[in-house]
Chains A and B, each alone.
Chain A
Amino acid sequence: MSKSEKITQKLQAMLPEDDVCRDESYQGGVVFSARVPLGKLRDAIKEFDEAGYYLESIAALDFQDTFELVYHLNCYEPRARIAIRVPCGHDQSPATVSDIFPSALWQEREVRDFFGIQFTDSPDMRPLLLPEDADYYPLKKTFGMVHAYHKRDEIYG
């Protein structure tokens, strides 16, 4: 059994059926995506670490009603990328995963720079790409020129 099948079985056992989605066509670039609540994020990421995955990217999306963090994880097998989607309210703080994947540290710092999302228990939350005294969050839709600011369901609904 390939690594991606193993990990998807574990995630399916962990999460309600509506929150997981398998896409064999690979049209969106991921074979499997799962909606994980904030509280279960660290457990899910730990499963990936044990399965031999690596953390490819952390991207944040800004919607009118919520932030969404998208973790893309991949392993050294063909077409094995999995996306973990974590809804995170504008006033919530997700837990850091930098102790599980050290590569998360800089990516979390980048997300904090651009969106102002604070990761709890992170060993280092200094600005990474922005100046030390930056008091703005440039990728928020409330900053600068913006073409659209949607609710999450308007795009994914």
Chain B
Amino acid sequence: MAEQFQEPIVEQIYTLNLGPQHPSTHGVLRVLLDLDGEFIVKADPIIGYGHRGHEKMAENRTYKQFMPNTSRMDYLSGLLFNHGFVLAVEKFAGLEVPERAKYIRVICSELNRISSHLLWFGTYIMDLGGFTPFLYCFDDRENILDILDRVTGSRLTYSYCRFGGVTRDIDAEFISMTRAFIDRLRSRWTDYHNLVTKNVIFIHRTRDVGVITPELARQFGVVGPNLRACGIPFDVRKSEPYELYDRFDFEIPTGTKGDALDRYNVRLQEMEQSCRIIEQALDQLPEGSHINEVVPFKVRPPKGEIYFAFESARGLTAYYLVSDGSPYPYRCHIRVPSFGNLQVLTEVFRGTLVADAISILGSIDVVIPEIDR
């Protein structure tokens, strides 16, 4: 349909307000759409409804006090943000971490990545009009939440990592629950593919819809699964290996066209790769302490700065910390992946149909509070 789009006559344009409470906008995003009939002429995303000022809060707190904030930015992959912040400060201040703690962090982070992708999967299909897969996903996701609840004590906004380790050690039951979950999730792939991937309505709603070319992705700084869907195998876990990711054998799934269907496929394959990482980590898990007890109460990194990048569920995320040698960061800038991923929509929406806009927005997988910070 997109090829039927022609430059409109100005009088025919009318403006539609998509959101901020529309169910498909996941959070509070408002998009001002200029429409010519069913075609979108111009899209202007309006954000900031969830702005809390995390960067200012960081300057008023010690590094430790800021930790609970980190998981409240991207609440779907809170543990990954928490993990990244801890890694940044540890590298900055030169703190030692026991091997076992590193493995525990990787296992929990990857579980969180799967739970984030599962939630995206369920809600995306629901945006497209299918309700049943949503229930399947939440059933599986509930398993992860139970597992993480056992060790972290929370279901969504985890603040599990500490400078020098993690708060609680994992036990034999955690390990057996995780292994059982991975087996169960693998047995579910067939259901998912039969329900969704092979569904002809789903394929027609996603194939060739919302194509992001590699050049467009570069101009807008698109990262994560959205970038990999257009064929660029870029993953921070491989390009700048942090924590233990250079010890595990996993692949970077990529797409070819960069349309919504490719983004869907990439995320589904990423879940399988995360399962592989968790299995290897469980096999290699060493004995020992789960936290370095000699880390000072108030961490004081040396004067200077650090830019630490890691891969959250939505792509390259980075903490940019500037320290003046005191326990309070002088500046904490957070580079969030959804910022670029959402901004590219101003370009991608042009010339598509309104119904496709919902499909594209869902396939990009944005979390608005992460952009607003």
Chain A residue with Cβ nearest B233: A76
Interface: A146 (CB within 8 A): yes
Q: Which residues of B from 84 to 141 have beta carbons under 8 Å from A? A: 91
By the criterion CB–CB under 8 Å, are A148 and B326 in contact? Answer: yes
Asked if B370 CB lies within 8 Å of chain A CBs, one says no
Query: Which of the residues B60, B305, B324, B373 comes within 8 Å of A154, measured between beta carbons?
Result: B324
24 inter-chain pairs at a CB distance below 8 angstroms, sorted by A residue, are A26-B240, A28-B306, A29-B307, A52-B218, A56-B316, A57-B318, A57-B333, A76-B232, A76-B233, A76-B234, A76-B239, A78-B240, A81-B309, A83-B307, A101-B221, A102-B343, A102-B347, A105-B343, A106-B339, A129-B47, A130-B51, A139-B59, A144-B56, A147-B59
Contact with A along B43-67 (1 / 0, CB 8 A): 0000110010101100110000000
B335 close to A103 (CB less than 8 A): no
Report the Cα distance A157→B189, complex, angstroms. Answer: 56
**A52 to B: closest C-beta gap in Å:** 7
Give every chain B residue within 8 A of A129 (Cβ-Cβ).
Answer: 47-48, 51, 372-373
Contact B240 A128 (CB under 8 A): no
Alpha-carbon distance A27/B234, docked complex (angstroms): 21
* Chain B, range 300-337, C-beta contacts under 8 Å to A: 303-309, 316, 318, 320, 322-324, 326, 328, 330-331, 333, 335
Chain B residue total in the interface (Cβ 8 A): 45
A145 to B59, CA, bound (A): 9
What residues on B are CB-neighbors of A155 within 8 Å? Answer: 303-304, 322-324, 330
Is A46 close to B, CB under 8 A? no
Contact present for A147 and B304 (CB under 8 Å): no
Q: Is B245 in contact with chain A by the CB < 8 A criterion? A: no
Given contact pairs A29-B309, A72-B307, A103-B343, A54 touches B322 in the complex (Cβ within 8 A): no
CA distance A30 to B305 in the complex (A): 11
Q: A6 — which chain B residues lie within 8 A by C-beta? A: none
**Nearest 7 pairs between A and B by C-beta?**
A29-B307, A57-B335, A59-B333, A129-B48, A103-B221, A76-B234, A147-B328
Are B324 and A128 within 8 A (Cβ)?
no
List, in ascending order, chain A residues with CB within 8 A of B48's CB.
Answer: 127-131
Are A61 and B335 within 8 A (Cβ)?
A: no
Distance of B296 from chain A, by nearest CB (Å): 18
Q: How far is it, in angstroms, between the C-alpha of A145 and the C-alpha of B373 when the chains are bound?
A: 19
Q: Which residues of A contact B335 (CB under 8 A)?
A: 56-57, 59, 72
> Smallest CB-CB separation from A114: which chain B residue?
B55
Residue B194 at the chain A interface, CB threshold 8 Å = no
B60 touches A147 (CB 8 A): yes
The answer to whether B340 has its CB under 8 Å from any CB of chain A is: yes
Max count, chain A CB within 10 A of own CB: residue among B51, B217, B218: B218
A29 to B92, CA, bound (A): 10
A147: B residues at CB distance < 8 A: 59-60, 326, 328
Interface size on A, residues (CB 8 A): 45
B219 within 8 A of A: yes
Q: For B47, B234, B308, which residue has the most chain A Cβ atoms within 10 angstroms?
A: B234
Q: Which residues of B contact A106 (CB under 8 A)?
A: 339, 343
Query: How far, in angstroms, from A146 to B35 measured CA to CA in the complex?
Result: 46
Q: Is A77 an interface residue (CB 8 A)?
A: yes
Tell me, yes or no, whether B220 is within 8 Å of chain A by CB.
Answer: yes
Residues of A within 8 A of B373 (CB): 129
How far apart sit A125 and B51, CA to CA, in the bound complex (Å)?
18
Mask, A46-77, CB within 8 Å of B = 1, is 00000010111101011000000010101011
CB-contacts of B222-257 with A (<8 A): 232-234, 238-240
- Interface flags for A136-157 (1: CB within 8 Å of B; 0: not) read 0011000011111010001110
Chain A residue nearest to B53 (CB atoms) is: A138
**Quick one: closest A residue to B238, CB to CB?**
A78
A118 part of interface (Cβ distance < 8 Å): no
A96 close to B (CB within 8 Å)? no
Shortest CB–CB separation between residue A45 and chain B, in angstroms? 12
A25 to B51, CA, bound (A): 36
Q: In the assembly, what is the distance between CA of A78 and CA of B245, in Å?
A: 14
Q: For residue B51, which residue of chain A has the nearest CB?
A: A129
Q: Does A22 interact with chain B (Cβ within 8 Å)?
A: no
Question: Which residues 7-27 of A have a CB within 8 angstroms of B?
Answer: 26-27
17 additional A-B pairs beyond A28-B305, A106-B343, A147-B60, beta carbons within 8 Å, are A28-B304, A59-B333, A70-B320, A78-B238, A79-B240, A81-B309, A103-B221, A114-B55, A128-B47, A129-B373, A138-B53, A144-B60, A147-B326, A147-B328, A148-B324, A155-B304, A155-B323
CA gap between A34 and B79 in the complex, in Å: 34
Known: A129-B372, A155-B304. A59 touches B331 (CB 8 A): yes
Q: Which residues of A contact B333 (CB under 8 A)?
A: 57, 59
B239, A78: Cβ atoms closer than 8 Å:
yes
Chain A residues within an 8 Å CB radius of B238: 78
Shortest distance between the CB of B316 and any CB in chain A (Å)? 7
